[in-house]
Chain A
Amino acid sequence: MRIYKTRIDDTLNPSPLLLKNRDTTPHHSDTTPPLTNNFGSGSPLQHQPVIEMIRGGKSFVSSPPAFSNDAKKLLVCTGNTVSVFSTDTGLQVADLEGHTALVTSVIVVPSSTPANALLCYCWTTSLDGTIRYWDFSVSELIKTVDIQLPVYSMVIPSFLDRQSENSETQPDTYAYISVEDTKTEQNKQRNLRGQIRKCNLSKSRLVRGAILSETKKPEKITISSNGKYFGVHEKRKIRVWEVPTKDGKNISHRNIKLTHTKNLSCIAFHPTDRIVAAGDATGRILVWRGFGDKTFADKDLENEKVSKDEDDKPGVRGEGDADSCTTWHWHSSEVKVLYFSSDGAYLFSGGKEGVLVGWQLDTGKKKFLPRIGTPLLSFTSSPDSSLSSISCADNRIHILKMPRMEILKSISGIKLPTPVPDMFRGSCNDFVFDRTAGLVAVRTENYCIQFYSLFDDREISEVQVCERNHQPSDDVTMILNLVALSFDGSVMCTVETRMAEEGIGGFVTLKFWDRRSQNNDYNLSTIIYEPHRDAGVSAVAFHPTRCMAASASYGGDFKVWVSNHDIQPNDKLIQRTRWACHAVGSYQKKPMTAAAFSNDGSVLAVAAETVVTLWDPEKNVLVAVIGSTREPIGNLSFIGDSGFLASASHGANPQLSVWDMSKLSVSWSYKLHVEAIASSDKDSHFAVLVLLPEPSNAEVATSHNADGAILLFNAGEPVAVASWFVTKAKGGGLAFIQSRSLDDNMDENDNPGSGLLAYVNGDHEYAIFNPHGLETQERKVRHTDSVPSLEVTGQSGYASIYGKLPEFKLNAIEASAETVTPSERPWETIFSGPSHSLPPLTKLCSAFLESLLEKRSGDGLVK
C-alpha cells in the first residue's frame, strides 16, 4: 500500500473554508455565521488538514486507450493518470501517476522486432502542458518534455515507419501535437486557438516555426498506420499532411484539403493504400481513394500522373486531390468511430446506435456487432490485431476478439451522468448509496442501475430496471427517475416514467426489487403501475428496520407500502414478497415533495411544499405540522438519533433549515443552495453539499475553481465543524458510509462510530475520506489484494523457443534452476500462435532443429 500526500487538485480540495458573511448570509439574524473552528483562521496552505482519502470513478473513455505490444495490457487514460488494465482479466494492474491535468493521449512505443515485444514504454500527453515518457511495466516516469501548452492530441510517425528503424543511428523522434495556444494574444482575436505543431521529443523541445495549421479549437490528429500521412478534420474539410521522409530543420510539409458538404466527425487512413475515410454528422461515410496523387507523388512520376484525365474524379468535390470519392450510408446519426483493419480489408465504423459495423472495403458488404447499447466513442486495435477495444459512452471498454467481433471482456467504470429533461430535474436522483456495503447505485442511460463499489473502484453488478432496447434518439421519452435502497440494501425501489406523446400513453411505474441471499442480483418483486394516478413520484423513503416504504407524489398524496412475505410450503420454500399499499395520506392537497423516516422508524416526515408534516407510519395519523420555508422543500433528512431534522429547499430563496423535533420549531437555518444532505446514523453530525453562489468575488475559492463546498455540522450548533472545497458540485451527492473492517488503519485513531464520508461529484468521480480525521493521506485503491492472478501464463511464439527472458538479478544465478520452465517439447508449441507474431521462418527453422537435438533453456543466457 502506498500513501501519497494530497495535492491541491480539482476533485476535492482539503483546505479549510472560511465562510464569511458575504457568501452565506444566515437569514436567521440571531445565529452566528459559521466559522471553521478547528483549523483556525490561518492561511489555508499552512494548516493543510490531511485526511486519508480514496478516490475513484474516473472516466475511462475520455481518450482512446492503447494496447501494449504483447496485447496483454491496455493503457487507459483515466483523468490525471493512466491506468493499466490486463486484457485477460479486465482488472486494473497498475497506475501511471504524474500528470497534473487530464491525460489526452497515450502512445505505446512499438517494437520493431518480436524479440522486444516486451518493451513497455509509452508517451503520454496531457492538458498540463507536458509530454511524458514512461516505463509502464514498473510504473516509472522516465522523461518529461515540458512544452507549456495544453496538448490535446499527439502522433509520432516514426514509430510506425518500419524502414527508418533499420538505420543504425537513432534519429530524433519527432511528434506532431495538437495544442491550444494560450500564449499569443493575437490568436485570441482571430479566434484560432488550436495549433498543430511539430515537437522533437528526443531533444525535448518544439521545432521552431513548425506550425502546420491553425484551427479554431484544438483538433484530434489521426495518423495512418504506416506513418506516412496524418490528418485532421475541421468542420467540413479534411487536411492531410505527408510526413517528410527526412527530418531536417526546414522541411516543408506538403498537404492537401478534401471538402465535403456536411460537418465531418472523424477520419481514418488506410494502412497501405492512399485511401482516407471520413464520417460526417449525418451518418455517411466518405471514402476517398488515391488522395494526393498530384501533391504527394514523387517528382519523377508526377508528369505521368498529371497526364491522367483530370476531369474524371467521380464524387470528389472542388479542387480535392483524389481519384474518387464514394459514400456509404448505414448510420442514422453522426459517425463517431472509423478504423481500418491492419490488413486494410475492413473498415470499422460506429456511432450513436451502439452498433459496430465492419465494412468490406472492396464490396461494401457489412457485418455487425449489435446491441452494445450505448454510443461508441473510439476503436483501437492491438499491434497483432488479434484484439481490439471499443470505448463506449457509458464509461465501458469492451475488448473484442477480432476476426469474430466477439466481446471477450468488459472494463466498466462508473456510469457517467445521464441527461435529464428539465421537467424531471427536481424528481431525479442520480445515485443512492448502500451505506453498509459501500456501494453506490448509479442510474444509467439504458434504464439500468449500476452498483459500483466505492472501495474497490469496480463495477459490482447491473440491474436492468426496464426491459427496453437501446434506441438511438435524441429526445428522452422514458426515464428512470428515482432509486431508493433500504438500509441493509436488500430491497430496492425504482420509479420510472414514460412520457406521453400528445397526451397518449405515458405513465409512472413503481417497482420493488429484492435481493436474494447474498448474490448481488435483484429480482423484481412487485410492479405498481401509476402508483399515484398520473402524478409523478417525488421521493421514496425506506423504513430503517421494517419492510416499509413511503412514496410521495406531486399529486398531493403519499402512500405507505408494506411487504408481506408469504412462504409457500409446498415446493422448496419459495419466499415471495409482495408490496401492497398500507396507507394513503395527504395534507391540504398540497404536492408532497420529500419524505424521510426517522432513525427508529416511528416518525415519517413528508414535506408538503413548504411545511413538514409528521406522521405515524403505522396508524397513518398526522402527528404534527411544523414550520414553513419560503420555497418548496426538496430534501429531508433526520439527523442520527439527535432529534433534529434537516431540510433543504431550492429555488430563488434556497434554505437549509434544521428543525428541533422536541420543540417542533426551527433550530437554525442558512440561506444556502444545498445540493445534498447526508446524516450519519449514530451521532448527530450531518454534512451538506453546498453550491457556492458566485465565484466572482471570491478570494479563496476561484484559485482552485471550486464551485461547491462540503460543510460538516453538528446538529445542535449552527457553526460548521469542518469544510472542504470541491469542484463540479452540481449534481453531486454525499453519504456517510461504514468503513470496511479490513481497513483497520483507516479509523484506528478516531471514534469508530462515525464512518466515512463519500462524495460523488457531478461527473461521478468520487472521494471517500474520514471527515473527523486530522491527517489526510491519499490512499490508492488496493486493486492487487483482491485480484489473485493478473497475468495469464502461457507461452507462444518467442517464449516457446527461447523460454522466458531471464530476469537479470543478482540472485538470478542461484535461482535460475527453478525460474525458467521451457516447454518440454518445444517442437509442438514452436509454430503455435498467430503467424504475424511468430519469429521469421529462418529463425524458427534453426531453433526447431536445435530443439530436436538438445533442450535449450533461457538460463543458458545467464550462464
Chain B
Amino acid sequence: MAINDKQTFTIKPKLKPTTKKSSSTPEQKYWKSFKSKEPQPLISSITSLAFSPTSPHDFAATHSATVTIFSSQTLQPKSTISAFKDTATSGCFRSDGLLLAAGSLSGLIQIFDVKKRAPLRKLSGHTRPVHFVTYPRVDKLHLFSGGDDSVVKYWEVWSGTHRSFTGHKDYVRCGDGSPVNDHMFVSGSYDHTVKFWDVRESSNSSALVLSVDHGAPVEDVVYLPSGGLVASAGGNSVKIWDVIGGGKLLHSMECHNKTVTKLCVAKIGDDGRNGDFGNQFRIMSVSLDGYLKVFDYSRLKVTSSIRYPKSLMSVAFSPDGSTRVVGSSNGDLYAGKRKTSENAESVKSEWGKYVGFGAIDEPEKRVLRPSYFRYFHRGQSEKPSKGDYIITRPKKVKLAEHDKLLKKFHHKEALVAALTAKNPENVVAVMEELVSRKKLLKCVSNLGTDELGLLLSFLQKYSTMPRYANVLIVLAKKVVENRVEDISGSEELKGYVRNLKRSVAEEIRIQESLQEIQGMISPLLKIAGRR
C-alpha cells in the first residue's frame, strides 16, 4: 500500500554479458595502482634494472653501452654512464648505494662512483661476456660474477684479484648473493643447473655446496628473503627450491607462455591501506610473452597478472615498495609509481614552502550584514555533522535527448537524435522502443535525405556486428526497399548503399569461411565425443 511514486523509465540498451571475474581482488588493485606514465624510450633492450638499497632508491638501467641512473621520485634520468665498449649488463648497487658495478659483453666488469660517474676499477678476468655481477648484501669489498666462459668468480675489489669456481658446463647467466650470509651465493647456468657456492671453502669441489637441476636453461635465480628458499626461472617455468632441505623442489609455477627472463622479490609496502597482505613478499616474474606475474609463494598462487605490449627483459621493485620498473626488449622502460597520500601531502607542503612569502594574515571575519551579497548565501555550504539526518533532494532523472523526444512522442526526431549522438547501443535501444510502439518504419519513411544518409552510414557500420545484427539487418533491408526512390535520386546515398553492400559481402565471406571451419571441426568433435 505504499505510495508508489512512479518515475520515468529511460531507454536502456541491452546489457552486455559480464565476465565472471569482473571485479579484481584487493591485491590486484594494489598492483594495478602503480600508474605507469608514458614508457621511457631507451636505446635498446634493457638488460638489467637495479634499485639503490638506500633512500631515495634511485635505480639504474643497463641498456646498449650505457647505464642510466633514474630518480625514483620523478622517474626521469639523472645521469648516464657510457664508459662501455660493448653492451652493458647486470648493474648492481653496493649496499651503501655509493658504488655501482656493471658487467659488459666484452667481459670487463667496471665499478663506478654513482655521483661522479667515473670508473673506479676495471676488473678483467672473464674471457667471454659477463651477464651476472652482484655485490653481497652487506659486504662492500667483494663481488660475485659469472660469464659465458661458464666460470663463476669471487672478486676482491680493492685488489682486483679473484677466485674462480668451475663446475658449470654452459654459459652462466645469473646468480644472487644470499641475504643471510655474505659468503654464500648461487648461480644459474644454461646447463640447466643452479649451483650453490660457499666461498669460505678453499677447494673448488667443496665450495660447490649444492646443485639442482631446473630442467631448462636457467635465465634468472634469486634468493627469497628468508635465505632458505631460492627461486629460479628457466624456460616457461619458475621453480622454488628449498635450500636447507637439500635442494628439494617445492613448487613449479608454470603460468608464462614464453621464456621467463627475470625475477625479482617485491615487498608490499605497508602503508595501512593494504589490508591483510601488507609487509609480505612476492615474486615478480617477467617473460617474453609480455606478462608481468606476481606470485605469492606462501600460498603458491599467482595473485596478479599485468600485460605489457612488448616482450619484457627485466624487472625491479624498489625496497620501499613505491616504485616498480619493467624493461622491455625494444628499450621501453615502464616505470610506475604508487600514489600515496603521504607523498601527495609532502609535495604539497614543499610546494607551500616555495610559494609562500611568509605568513599571510588571515582576513578578519567580518560580521555578515544584509548589505553583503554573502549574507544571502550564509549557511548554504554547511556540512552535515555526523548525527544529522540528511534529507536528500529527490534525484532528478537525467534524460537524454532521445528520451525527451520519445516522451513527447516525437519519434523521428528521437531516432535522429540518437543517430547523431553516435552511441550504437543507444541507437539500437531507441529502435527497439520504436518497434514496440510500432513506429519504426513510419520514422524511416519520414526521414529527410540527410537523416537518411545518417541512418544508412550507421547501418553500414553496425549491421554486421553480431550484437546489433538481429535488428539492423532486417531494418537495412526495409530501408532500402522503402526508400529506393530517394536513394537512387541522391549520389551521396548511393555511395552509402554501395558501402553497405560491400560490408554485407564481406560479412557473407566471413560467414562462409566460418562455416567451412565448422564443417571441419564438427566431425572431430563427434569423434572426440564418442570416446
Contacts and interface: CB of A to CB of B under 8 A. Distances in A.
Interface of A: 90-91, 371-373, 407-412, 458-459, 462, 467-469, 471, 473, 475, 477-478, 498-507, 527, 529, 566, 568, 570, 578
A473 B437 contact: yes
A503 B474 contact: yes
A177 to B, nearest CB: 34
A468 B435 contact: no
B395 to A, nearest CB: 16
A408 B3 contact: yes
A504 B1 contact: no
A407 B2 CA distance: 11
Given A411-B1, A477-B435, A568-B23, A505 B8 contact: no
Contacts, number: 78
B35 interface: no
Contacts of A578: 20
Interface string B8-27: 11001011000010010110
Interface in B423-448: 431-438, 440-441
B6 interface: yes
B470 interface: yes
B8 A499 contact: no
B432 A505 contact: yes
A506 B435 contact: yes
Contacts of A529: 14
A91 B1 contact: yes
A500 B3 contact: no
A477 B471 contact: no
B437 A504 contact: no
Nearest to A526: B15
A469 B4 contact: no
B4 A410 contact: yes
A504 B433 CA distance: 11
A501 B411 CA distance: 15
A505 B26 contact: no
16 contacts: A371-B7, A409-B3, A410-B1, A462-B4, A467-B12, A473-B437, A477-B437, A498-B436, A501-B434, A502-B441, A502-B478, A504-B440, A505-B432, A505-B435, A529-B14, A570-B26
B31 to A, nearest CB: 15
Given A411-B1, A498-B432, A566-B20, A475 B438 contact: yes
A467 B14 CA distance: 12
A423 to B, nearest CB: 15
Closest 4 CB pairs of A and B: A505-B435, A467-B9, A371-B6, A477-B436
A404 to B, nearest CB: 14
Contacts of B441: 501-502, 504
B6 A505 contact: no
Nearest to A506: B435
B437 A505 contact: no
B123 interface: no
Give the dominant DSSP class at A's interface: loop
A252 B438 CA distance: 55
B11 to A, nearest CB: 9
A672 to B, nearest CB: 38
Contact of A504 (B2, B14, B474): B474
Contacts of B1: 90-91, 409-412, 458-459
Contacts of A459: 1
Contact of A527 (B15, B407, B432): B15
A473 B433 CA distance: 14
A501 B23 contact: no
B138 interface: no
Contacts of B6: 371-373
Given A410-B3, A502-B441, A505-B471, A478 B436 contact: yes
Interface in B6-58: 6-9, 12, 14-15, 20, 23, 25-26
Interface of B: 1-9, 12, 14-15, 20, 23, 25-26, 407, 431-438, 440-441, 470-471, 474-475, 478
B22 to A, nearest CB: 10
A504 B9 CA distance: 23
Nearest to B1: A90
Nearest to A466: B9
A478 B14 CA distance: 16
B441 to A, nearest CB: 6
Contacts of B438: 475, 477, 501
A471 B441 CA distance: 18
A501 B12 contact: no
Given A529-B14, A570-B26, A501 B440 contact: yes
A263 to B, nearest CB: 25
Contact of B431 (A503, A505, A527): A505
Nearest to B436: A477
Nearest to B442: A501
Nearest to A407: B3
Nearest to B23: A568
Q: Which residue of A502, A527, A566 has the most chain B CB atoms within 10 A of its CB atom?
A: A502
A506 B26 CA distance: 42
Contacts of B2: 410
B9 A468 contact: yes
B9 A500 contact: no
A467 B15 CA distance: 13
A400 to B, nearest CB: 11
Given A91-B1, A373-B6, A468-B9, A498 B435 contact: yes
A90 B9 CA distance: 27
Nearest to B428: A505
Contacts of A475: 438
Contacts of B3: 407-410
Nearest to A503: B474
Nearest to A408: B3
A820 B471 CA distance: 72
A329 to B, nearest CB: 15
Contacts of B432: 498, 505
B344 to A, nearest CB: 25
A632 B15 CA distance: 35
Contacts of B25: 570
Residue from A459, A473, A505, A529 with most neighbouring chain B CB atoms (10 Å): A505
A695 B8 CA distance: 48
A469 B8 contact: yes
Contacts of A410: 1-4
A501 B4 contact: no
A505 B440 contact: yes
Contacts of A500: 435
A507 B470 contact: yes
Contact of B437 (A90, A373, A412, A471): A471
Contacts of A408: 3
A350 B435 CA distance: 27
Given A529-B14, A570-B26, A504 B435 contact: yes
Nearest to A501: B435
B445 to A, nearest CB: 12
Nearest to A372: B6
Nearest to A566: B20
Given A373-B6, A570-B25, A504 B471 contact: yes
Contacts of A503: 474, 478
B261 to A, nearest CB: 33
Contact of A371 (B8, B437, B471, B478): B8
Q: Which of A475, A499, A506 has its CB near the most chain B CB atoms (within 10 A)?
A: A506
Contacts of B471: 504-505
Nearest to B475: A504
Contacts of A469: 8-9, 407
Nearest to B9: A467
A407 B431 CA distance: 34
B462 to A, nearest CB: 14
Contacts of B9: 467-469
Interface centre among B7, B407, B441, B474, by most A CB within 10 Å? B474
- Which of A467, A501, A568 has the most chain B CB atoms closer than 10 A to its own CB? A501
Contacts of B434: 501
A570 B23 CA distance: 10
Contacts of B478: 502-504
